[in-house]
Amino acid sequence: MIDILRHDFVQNAFLAGAIVAVISGFVGYFVVLRGQAFACEALSHIGFAGALGAALVGASSLEGMFVFTLLAAVGMGALGKRLSGRDIEVGMVLSFVLGLGVLFLSIYTENATGAVGVLFGSILSVTINDVQVILGSGVFIIILMAVLYRPVLFASIEPEVAEARGVPVQRLSILFLILLALSVSVAVKVVGVLLVFALLVVPAAAAEHLTHRPWLAITISILISLIATIAGLTFAFIGHWPASFYIVSLTSLFYFIALIVHAVRSPRRYRELPHPSREVLPPAD
């Protein structure tokens, strides 16, 4: 393993994987809290069309995913303050862009390997330039999410109350979807379009079963993502199966463990855990 770590592509894979894990664990908590798992899945598939479209014009797949997912995020955000009950509209956007992806794939037949990499992840092909882009995107996402933490948390839990208190709920919704689009685009490099759900939703869902304290849940979500990603890459280098398979398997294992812990926990003790709204709702006048 020490010999393997001397290779640049291995170092790039671990760096990119660790950065994406932190981003996914942080943003994923709000995806689960806001009930936007379907939007996350839709953005990942839209990124597939973007990656193929970028290949047609000679650009990098990451750039194409950024453009398509950001445009889609703005469009979804314009649908309303929350995406709950908007599955039909989101599905229409998704089906149209997937149709574009099929068209791009039929035109761009020379590089089937590249298309498979987008679908299932190509973490071993990450370059130092990709790492720099992922790092820059990650710093931007984490800083902005930290700045907007309280209003986004408030708007996620009680959107009507938040709007009545003067919180710009719809603008926050659009901004969060833009950050989610960036997160999806960088996560695709690690696990691919079809498996991005495993990094952006499953760890956060597991954390939600273990605690209702927002910062603790975010921390647990990040730890699960990090452990699954680093361990998955390690198993991939010493084994024979793809890294994305190991990562998805480990996140799923953590989720089932969280379910078991949740089931055996005392109901009384569980009811006493504070609800996230207690940390964001201002005191009554």
Q: Taking the model in full, what pTM does it have?
A: 0.81
Residue 159: pLDDT above 90?
no
Chain segment 62-82, per-residue pLDDT in tens: 788 888 888 888 877 776 555
Residue 40: pLDDT above 60?
yes
- Domain range spanning residue 85? 4-280
Residue 17: pLDDT above 90?
no
- The total number of structural domains that make up the chain: 1
48 burial via Cβ count (<10 Å: 0-12, 13-18, 19+): buried
- Residue 262: closest CA among 198, 212, 200, 201: 212
Give whole-number Cα distances, 99 to 63, 77, 196, 213, in Å. Answer: 20, 21, 20, 41
The larger pLDDT score, comparing residue 115 to residue 261, is at 261
Q: Give me the pLDDT at residue 279, please.
A: 52
Residue 175's domain is classified under what CATH number?
1.10.3470.10
The larger pLDDT score, comparing residue 72 to residue 55, is at 72
Query: At 73, which amino acid appears?
Result: A
Q: Give me the pLDDT at residue 76, please.
A: 77
Residue 76 in any domain: the answer is yes
In angstroms, the CA 130 to CA 66 distance is: 13
Residue 285 in any domain: the answer is no
Beta strands in 3-135 (DSSP E): none
Residue 197 in any domain: the answer is yes
In angstroms, the CA 87 to CA 60 distance is: 30
In this prediction, residue 285 has a pLDDT band, given cuts at 50, 70 and 90, of very low
Q: Give me the pLDDT at residue 277, please.
A: 52
Angle CA(13)–CA(19)–CA(20) in degrees, nearest 5? 85
